[in-house]
Structure 1
Amino acid sequence: MLKKKNRAITNQVEFVSISDLVPKDHLLRAVEESIDFDFIYDEVKDLYSENIGRPSIDPVVLIKLLMLQALYGIRSMRQTIKEVEVNVAYRWFLGYGLQEQIPHFSTFGKNYERRFKESDLFEKIFVHILMEAIKYGFIKSDAVFIDATHVKASANKNKYVKKMAQHRAHKYKRELLIEINADREANGKKPFEDSNDNNKDGDSPKKDSVKEIKESTTDPESGMFHKGEKERCFAYTASVACDRNNFILGVKVAPGNIHDSQVFSDLFQEVSEKFPEIEAVVVDAGYKTPGVCREIIEAGKLPVMPYKRPMTKDGYFKKRDYVYDEYYDCYLCPNNQVLRYSTTNRAGYREYKSDPKICSKCPMRMQCTLSKSCTKVVTRHVWEHYMEIAEDIRHTPWGKELYKMRGETIERVFADAKEKHGMRYTNLRGLRKVGHYLTLLFACINLKKLALWKKKQGMLPPAVPVFSLVLSKIRKIFTFNQTPLLSLSA
């Protein structure tokens, strides 16, 4: 039989608490019970004036508003406020009643500029949530997985100016120069000066000391990002480290035109200080450089890296076809000819050159080199032995199994962050502001996992409707000698 719903019930006045309207299994209930948000008051008390004046918005409410945006992937604070106005669970999470006025969407922005922008509040929130996960034994940090992903900036890719900028120096630049000069002196070469100016060996000015970049006129602190077949755009790069259980251990944000390996050092050092028990560092091929391998091994960790395809053109011999003789410090080509040491360049590569008289008559020359001087040059980095250690680890069953876990750990973190938490792009502008938001976003991902794990293991108190408690107390008051004097259920 056809039935028609009577909508008049929507105007009915009911006696109910807002807590009873939130389902017992709602995510925000687990989040609220999993951590005490009062710690935020201690972190922000120095940012507020002690003078008597107009009462401010509760700082916990401001942070929870941002958490709601991150947890549910809402695109902006304006939209978040609209969602809070009609969502009972959101109101309950913030501590607002059904009739209470929600703060204006510009409130957080003003408080951020006046109070939170120059503080480390968001990093402290991230650390506090991480410490809670450590406290309950959810962190498994014997292996750490590090990778980076890009976040599209709020900037038009066609609005930019071209500028000349210096390359960002690697952290280990000084150590590398020392080893380069030691190697050159050992081979009777003059050491390089610690300068980006013209060297004294007759070389031309360093063309790689500066480069032309495209700087956005909308968000100058973002960087032009382009990788493979992906669309060229202005973006930021988020470098993240996580453990086996997908808990994020550290986050670093940089402009999109900075290579992942350049941000690695800061992130690796931060995570290593927090978790000295780390045994292995798992990264992808983009981090397979002599400097990164050296830093991991010198820190007492094991680098787990994949096979990196050679950049040699098809039809030519690969570098692996040239055998290095460690005793005589030379290379042997596929035709069993010797390539002897020539020099060590400023990039840290030792150059081994062939005899042009022999190469000019070699039947394999067209597969080896097209040099007009008939000279083949093979390079070997002064830190190449660190790369060889990483290559040995790659072939072990333990290394292979650990690298396979990247798809279940760091790749899963990025997938969830982009699909469920709106990290594909940002409406914010400026490196500091974007960094603060992404730090809080990953803190919320940790908080969500912490809440669900504690709930699954029965570490959270059971959710009892407030109105049910009140009703039971009223019944006890109006009950005497087990004889009900008043029935509230009638």
Structure 2
Amino acid sequence: MIQKQQTLVLSPYAALYDIVVPKDNMLRQINELVDFSFIYEELKDKYCLDNGRNAIDPICMFKYLLLKAIFELSDVDLVERSKYDLSFKYFLGMAPEDSVINTSSLTKFRKLRLKDMNLLDMLIQKSVSIAVDQGILKSTSIIVDATHTKARYNQKSPQEILQDRARKLRKTVYAMNESIKVKMPTKNTTNVLEDEIEYCQRLISFIEEESGVAQVPKILEPLNLLKETVEDDVEAIRLATDPDARVGHKSVDSSFFGYKTHLAMTEERIITAAVITTGEKNDGKQLQTLIEKSKSAGMNVKTVIGDTAYSEKDNIAYTKKNEIDLVAKLNPKVTQGSRKKEDEFLFNKDAGMYVCPAGHMAIRKAREGKKSIGKNQKNKYYFDVEICKRCALREGCYKQGANSKSYCVTIKSEEHSEQMAFQETEFFKEKSKERYKIEAKNSELKHGHGYDVATSSGLIGMQLQGAMTIFAVNLKRILKLQD
């Protein structure tokens, strides 16, 4: 049996919870808000029900991971805090005197029980259904955006990672007792990874056995982080690779190495859909998936609010077909017309032709591209190449030896023309003001829940991190809206 009674075991100390975990405690509120029994149904195929030792209750294991996402703790520090923090024990369904799990159990649970699960969509749908049941989610608009997460590895060399964490540990120890500096193990001075690992192991041993400060809470976090890096991640650091991470661009001159999380969020700031991809993926290409996932989660989507990245032609056609207002500005190249040297080549409306800087008019025009397929069509204007060959202004305009000289002008499609008109409406302008909300949500994910850097290697690990983090922030938001 993996399912266990989710009420507290009878304990002479159970009354402590009513004293130290008040009704407005966030973890008590989450326990009352969420029926976690859905975890049993999702995980029943991952357990052997008629053989072997009794497993740790999967709800308890799931809650450990949720605590990790809410409080941004390492596995070691999460288990350590669970020993003495009664709000944690109450949330986990334990009696005050119960023993906590072994840290390795969390790793096994992630790898063996949660592998191959569509945890991301499941948890988002669960939190959205809670919001609907609570009467909180009333919006018919979703705001879309993408946030980036740096890969755990490859940002620094393996040796740099170890050096950085060892440095932080030493700095914390010196702040407690500067005189201990002379007793510290001699730093590694070579560029050999094995030597750096050996030095870190000596540093850990010294602090644990000789420093006298190893049990100070302020020392424990950097100490545990270095130990976890050396003991658990040596193989990963030795490889120093994340096979799924890719380079993405935040701007023309700013890039990152890692992943993107494409989000859809309601005006009440409840996340209704997420797609986690490698870093190079285009934001706009995820829009239709985000809309469909939001609908599957229970949203009635009537309006989508986003930036210019989401206003590509296919998205305009898709939202129009599904009777959804797309509040996303067109790229200025579309609204202003896409053509080179627009100040030099001028249009003669009487002749319906373009005139070059030297004053020569095009002799014919032709249309390129098929209507409603791929990119917009273009009008191509051809000039008399014999005149171009002799023109005084041919330098930089006519390529020597070319058999033709032409000038192209993109034609606005019907979709773009309608979107341009929609951009000028008061509805569009008012709805555009809601977009800032998702930027604040991205900041909350990164700075409040450690979503700026991946906690493991690979896309699967990133999806697990995203699932738990988004579930946590959605629950916190629901509790806030209930106040």
Which TM-score applies when normalising by structure 1?
0.68
After TM superposition, list the pairs within 5 Å mapping 1:21-420 onto structure 2. Answer: 21-74=20-73, 76-157=74-155, 218-228=241-251, 231-275=254-298, 277-306=300-329, 308-310=331-333, 316-317=341-342, 340-344=365-369, 348-357=375-384, 370-372=397-399, 374-380=405-411, 384-407=413-436, 409-420=437-448
Bigger RCO of structures 1 and 2 (CA < 8 A, at least 6 apart) = 1
Partner of 1:434: 462
Helix, strand or coil at the partner of 2:148: strand
Structure 1 residue 47, shift from structure 2 partner:
2.1
Identity %: 22
Native 8 Å contact 2:119 2:467 kept in 1: no
Paired amino acid for 1:225: G
Partner of 2:201: none
Rate the CA distance shift 1:131–1:377 in 2: closer, same or farther, 3 A.
same
Native 8 Å contact 1:354 1:377 kept in 2: yes
Distance (whole Å) between structure 1 residues aligned to residue 444 and residue 308 of structure 2:
22
Native 8 Å contact 2:339 2:408 kept in 1: no
Structure 1 residue 15, shift from structure 2 partner:
10
Q: Any stretches of 5+ residues in structure 2 without a counterpart?
A: 1-12, 159-238
Deviations 1:66-125 (A, max 9, x none): 111212233x32332233234222222112344322112221221222222012345323
Distance (whole Å) between structure 1 residues aligned to residue 377 and residue 84 of structure 2:
67
Helix, strand or coil at the partner of 1:249: strand
Show structure 1 runs of 4+ deviating over 6 A: 311-315, 318-325, 330-339
Rate the CA distance shift 1:61–1:300 in 2: closer, same or farther, 3 A.
same
Structure 1 residue 240, shift from structure 2 partner:
0.5
What do you get for the CA RMSD once the two structures are aligned? 3.8
Rate the CA distance shift 1:119–1:315 in 2: closer, same or farther, 3 A.
closer
Native 8 Å contact 1:394 1:400 kept in 2: yes
Helix, strand or coil at the partner of 1:151: strand
Partner of 2:172: none
Rate the CA distance shift 1:270–1:24 in 2: closer, same or farther, 3 A.
closer
Paired amino acid for 2:406: T
Rate the CA distance shift 1:377–1:135 in 2: closer, same or farther, 3 A.
same
Structure 1 residue 396, shift from structure 2 partner:
0.7
Helix, strand or coil at the partner of 1:154: coil
Structure 1 residue 145, shift from structure 2 partner:
0.9
Rate the CA distance shift 1:393–1:151 in 2: closer, same or farther, 3 A.
same
Rate the CA distance shift 1:97–1:321 in 2: closer, same or farther, 3 A.
farther
Rate the CA distance shift 1:46–1:118 in 2: closer, same or farther, 3 A.
same
Helix, strand or coil at the partner of 1:420: helix
Native 8 Å contact 2:330 2:419 kept in 1: no
Native 8 Å contact 1:19 1:92 kept in 2: no
Native 8 Å contact 2:354 2:381 kept in 1: no
Helix, strand or coil at the partner of 2:29: helix
Paired amino acid for 1:126: I
Paired amino acid for 1:114: L
Deviates more, 1:33-42 or 1:143-152: 33-42
Helix, strand or coil at the partner of 1:375: strand
Distance (whole Å) between structure 2 residues aligned to residue 276 and residue 319 of structure 1:
50
Native 8 Å contact 1:341 1:350 kept in 2: no
Helix, strand or coil at the partner of 1:239: strand
Partner of 1:203: none
Native 8 Å contact 2:152 2:457 kept in 1: yes
Which TM-score applies when normalising by structure 2?
0.69
